[in-house]
Structure 1
Amino acid sequence: MSCHHDRAKKQILIWKRFPVSVPSEAPLSTKRRWWVLAIVALTQLVVVLDGTIVNIALPQAQADLGLTDVERQWVVTAYALAFGALLLLGGRIADYWGRKRSFMVGMVGFGIASAYGGLIGTGIELIVARGLQGLFAALMAPAALAILTTTFPSGRERNTAFAVFGSIGGAGAAVGLVLGGVLTEFFSWRWCLLVNVPIVLVAMIAAAFLLRESKAEGDNKYDFLGTVLVAFGLGALVYGLTLAEHGWNSLGVWACLGAGVVLMALFFYSQSKIAQPLLPLRVIASRVRGGSLLLQMVSGSVMIGMMLYVTLHLQIVLGFSPLLAGVASLPLTIVISIVAPIATKLLPRIGPKPLMVAGPLIAAVGMVWLSGLTSTGGYLAEILPGMVLLGIGMAMLFVPMQNLALLGVEPHDAGAASAANTAAMQIGGSIGLGIYTALYTAGSASGTGFDALVSGYSAVFIGTAVALVVGSIIAATFIRGPKETLMPMGEPAEKVLHLG
Structure 2
Amino acid sequence: MIIINKSKQIMLAIIIACQLMIVLDASIMVTALPEIGRTLHLTTAHLSWVQNAYILAFGGLMLLGARAGDIWGRRRMFSVGIALFTLASILVGIAQSAEFLFITRALQGIAAAIATPSTLALLSVTFIEPKERTKAIALYSAVAGAGGSIGLILGGILTDLISWRVGMFLNVPIGIALLFMVPRFLPETEKNTGHFDLMGAMTSVFGITALVYGFVQAAANGWAQLQTVLSLSIGVVLLVAFVFIEARAKQPITPLRLFASRRRSGAYLGRFLFVSGNFSVFFFLPQFLQNVLGFTSFESGLAFLPFTAVQFGMMYLMPSLIARFGNLKVLVVGLIIAIMGTSWLSQISTDSQFFPQIFLPLMVMGIGAGTVFLPLTTIGLSGVDSRDSGAASGLINVAHQTGSSLGIAILITVFEAARLSTVLPSKQDFAHASSVVIVGSTAFIAASLVVVLFCFLPKRGAVKE
| TM-score interval, smaller chain | 0.7 to 0.9
Name the amino acid aligned to 1:225: M
- Contact 1:89-1:222 at 8 Å conserved across structures: yes
Name the CA shift for 1:479/1:231 in 2 (closer, same or farther; >3 Å): same
- Per the alignment, residue 457 of structure 2 pairs with 480
Structure 2 residue 452 is matched with structure 1 residue 452: no
Q: 1:283 maps to which residue?
A: 258
Aligned residue for 2:280? 305
Q: Is the 8 A contact 1:65 1:121 kept in 2?
A: no
Relative to structure 1, the CA distance from residue 194 to residue 71 in structure 2 (aligned partners, 3 Å threshold; closer, same or farther) is farther
Q: Which amino acid aligns with 1:234?
A: I
Amino acid at match of 2:445: L
Q: Which residue of structure 2 aligns with residue 195 of structure 1?
A: 170
Are the aligned partners of 1:357 and 1:473 in contact in 2 as well (CA < 8 Å)? no
Relative distance call for 1:392 and 1:82 in structure 2 (3 A) is: same
CA 1:340–1:196 in structure 2 vs 1: closer, same or farther (change >3 Å)? Answer: closer
1:234 aligned to 2:211?
Answer: no
2:31 corresponds in structure 1 to: 56
Q: For residues 352-397 of structure 1, what are the alpha-carbon distances to aligned partners after superposition, in whole Å with 9 as ceiling and x for unaligned?
A: 4454445434323322222221123211132123213323333443
SS in 2 for 1:52: coil
AA partner of residue 461 (structure 1): I
Contact 1:407 1:486 in 2 (8 A): no
Q: Which amino acid aligns with 1:249?
A: A
- Taking the aligned partners of 1:387 and 1:277, their CA distance within structure 2 comes to 41
- Give SS of 2:348's match: coil
Alignment of 1:86 onto 2:67: no
Q: 2:365 aligned to 376, 380, 390, which one?
A: 390
Task: Give secondary structure in 2 for the equivalent of 1:53.
Answer: coil
Whether the 8 Å contact between 1:313 and 1:454 is mirrored in structure 2 is yes
Give the Cα–Cα distance (whole angstroms) in 2 for the partners of residues 170 and 461 of structure 1: 19
| Paired position in structure 1 for 2:439 | 462
Q: How does 1:174-253 map to 2 (within 5 A)?
A: 175-207=150-182, 210=184, 214-245=188-219, 246-253=221-228
Counterparts of 1:349 and 1:161 in 2: how far apart (Å)?
Answer: 18
CA–CA distance in 2 between the matches of 1:300 and 1:468? Answer: 8
CA distance in 2, matches of 1:462, 1:167: 25
- What displacement does 1:248 show? 2.0
Deviations 1:259-316 (A, max 9, x none): 1111111111111112211111111132222222111111111121011111112222
1:322-361 equivalences under 5 Å are 322-339=297-314, 345-347=320-322, 351-361=326-336
What aligned pairs does 1:51-200 form with structure 2 within 5 A after superposition?
Answer: 51-145=26-120, 169=144, 172-173=147-148, 175-200=150-175
With over 3 angstroms needed to count, the CA separation of the structure-2 counterparts of 1:411 and 1:205, relative to structure 1, is: closer
Secondary structure of the 1:326 match is helix
* Cα distance in structure 1, aligned partners of 2:167 and 2:303: 18
Q: Judge conservation of contact 1:351–1:486 (CA < 8 Å) in 2.
A: no
Q: Structure 2: how far apart are the matches of 1:160 and 1:175?
A: 21
Percent same amino acid among aligned pairs? 33
Return closer, same or farther for 1:288/1:368 CA change in 2, 3 Å cut-off. same
User: 1:177-219: CA deviations, max 9, x gaps?
Assistant: 3322321111111212222123223333454x63677353443
- Sort the Cα spacing of 1:410 and 1:159 in 2 relative to 1 into closer, same or farther, 3 A: closer
Aligned partner of 1:425: which letter? H
Note the alpha carbon deviations across 1:415-458, whole angstroms, 9 max, x for none: 22221122111111111111111111111223332111111211
Distance 2:192 2:462 in 1: 37
CA distance in 1, matches of 2:374, 2:145: 14
Within 1, Cα distance between the matches of 2:11 and 2:330? Answer: 37
Bigger shift: 181-190 or 101-110? 101-110
- Please give the residue correspondences for 1:427-442 in structure 2 after superposition, counting only pairs within 5 Å: 427-442=402-417
Aligned to 1:493: none
Alpha carbons of structure 1 residues 404 and 206: separation in structure 2 relative to 1, 3 Å: closer
Distance, in Å, in 1 between the alignment partners of 2:340 and 2:247 is 40
Contact kept? 1:66, 1:123, Cα under 8 Å: no
**Residue deviations 1:228-248 (CA, integer Å, cap 9, x gap):** 110111111111111111222
Provide structure 1 residue ranges, at least 5 long, that are not aligned to the other structure: 1-15, 17-29, 488-500
Match of 1:11 in 2: none
Contact 2:90/2:169 (<8 A) preserved: yes
Quick check: 441-450 or 330-339, which moved more?
330-339
> What is the identity, as a one-letter code, of the residue corresponding to 1:305?
S
TM-score by length of 1: 0.82
Q: For residue 409 of structure 1, what is the aligned residue in structure 2?
A: 384
TM-score in terms of structure 2 length: 0.88
Distance 1:301 1:168 in 2: 18
Residue 220 of structure 1: SS of its match in structure 2?
coil
Q: Alpha-carbon deviation of 1:344?
A: 5.1
Contact preservation (8 Å) 2:158, 2:164 = yes
CA distance in 2, matches of 1:164, 1:474: 25
Residues 165 and 313 of structure 1, relative CA distance in 2, 3 Å threshold = same
Structure 2 unaligned segments of length 5 or more: list them. Answer: none
Structure 1 32/382 Cα, relative in aligned 2: closer, same or farther at 3 Å? closer
Structure 1 residue 414: Cα displacement: 2.5
Deviations 1:328-369 (A, max 9, x none): 102112233444655654546555445444543432332222
Distance 2:27 2:208 in 1: 22
How far does the alpha carbon of each residue in 1:454-490 deviate from its partner, in whole angstroms, 9 at most, with x for none? 1121121011111122222222222231698463xxx
- 1:368 is matched with which residue: 334, 343, 351? 343
Matched letter for residue 159 of structure 2: T
SS at the partner of 1:221? Answer: coil
Pick closer, same or farther for the CA change 1:442–1:221 going to 2, 3 Å: same
Q: What RMSD in Å do the two structures reach over aligned CA positions?
A: 3.1
Aligned residue pairs, count: 458
Q: 2:11, 2:186 within 8 Å by CA — same for their partners in 1? A: no
The aligned counterpart of 1:471 is 448
Contact 2:348 2:431 in 1 (8 A): yes
Cα distance in 2 for partners of 1:169, 1:464 equals: 19
Code of the aligned partner of 1:456: A
